Amino acid sequence: MINAAGVLPLPEKVEAINNFTLPSTYSRLRTFNDMVNFYHRFMKNLAQKMQPLNSMLAGKHSKNAIIKWTEEAKASFENVKEALAEATLLHYPQSNAETSIAVDASDTAVGGVLQQRHAGEWKPIAFFSKKLQPHKNKFSTFGRELLATYLALKHFRYFIEGARCHILTDHILTDHKPLVGAITKANERDIARETLQLSLISQYTTDIRHLARRENIVADTL
C-alpha cells in the first residue's frame, strides 16, 4: 500500500497471513514461509524470528507429512504473524538525503537497515536479515559483525552504488572499536575471508562509524 509517507504491505495480504492457521503439513508450512518472505523488506530481524520455522523444513520431508510442532515453533509462527501485522512503514528515498546502513549481528543471524535522515531523524528505507549457517555461528564477534556489514552492503548495493553512504555499527570489544578502524588495516587481518570482505566494503565506503547500542534500531531487534 502506497501513501504520502511511504509504503506498507497491502492490508488484505496481511490479513490473509494473519488468518493462516497452524500448518499441519510441510507443504502448508512452506507456503506460509513463502508468503511471509515476500514481505521481508518491511520486517526487522525476520531471519531470526523465522529460524524455528525454517529449521523444521531442513532435510527431506514428504510434502504431505504431518508436522509435530514444538512450543518454540508455535511461538515463532505467532510471532511472525504479529511482526507482519506491525510491519514498519518504509519511507521514500530522497536523492539528497544523508544515507547510512546500520548493521548488527547476533549468534545466529545478521541484520541491517538502509536508512536516510529526514527532518533530523533516521527513517527506514528497507530491512535486511539473514540466518547464519551453523559454521558461521562460530565466527568471532568481530567476524560476525564484519559479515553483517559485508552482506548488508551486497544486499543494498543497488541503492548505494555511486552514492555517498556510511556504515553505522555498535560493535565494541573491550575499550576499542575494531570494525571502525579495520577498514584502513584490511591487509593486516590474519583471516583471508575477512581481508576479502573488507576489500569489498572499501569499494563502497570507508566511512564506518560507531553507534551506541541504545541508538541502533537493528540491534534492538537482534
Q: Which pLDDT value is given to residue 5?
A: 64
36, 56, 90: which is the final residue of a domain?
Answer: 90
Count: domains in the chain: 2
Asked whether residue 148 is assigned to any structural domain, the reply reads yes
Asked whether residue 182 is assigned to any structural domain, the reply reads yes
Residues 6+ apart with CB under 8 A from 53: 29, 32, 33, 73, 76, 77, 80
Q: How many CA atoms lie within 13 A of 171 on its CB side?
A: 27
From 45, 54, 49, select the one nearest 152 (Cα to Cα): 45
- Which cell numbers in the block locate residue 217? 534500531
The answer to whether residue 92 scores a pLDDT higher than 80 is yes
Asked whether residue 107 is assigned to any structural domain, the reply reads yes
From 122, 128, 121, 84, select the one nearest 222 (Cα to Cα): 128
Condensed to tens digits (0 to 9), the pLDDT of residues 103-122 reads: 888 888 888 888 888 888 88
Residue ranges making up the domain that contains 49: 10-90
Q: Kindly report whether the global pTM for this prediction surpasses the value 0.85.
A: no
90, 118, 149: which is the final residue of a domain?
Answer: 90
Residues 61 and 82 in one domain: yes
Asked whether residue 216 is assigned to any structural domain, the reply reads no
Residues 109 and 169 in one domain: yes
Condensed to tens digits (0 to 9), the pLDDT of residues 28-48 reads: 998 888 888 777 777 777 888
pLDDT band at 130 (very low <50, low <70, confident <90, very high): confident
Residues 66 and 19 in one domain: yes
Residues 119 and 25 in one domain: no
DSSP states of 99-152 as a string? EEEEEEE-SSEEEEEEEEEETTEEEEEEEEEEEPPGGGGGS-HHHHHHHHHHHH
130 phi-psi bin (left φ>0, alpha ψ -120 to 50, beta other)? beta
Report the SS3 class of residue 161.
coil
Residues 19 and 46 in one domain: yes
From 5, 1, 4, 88, select the one nearest 43 (Cα to Cα): 88
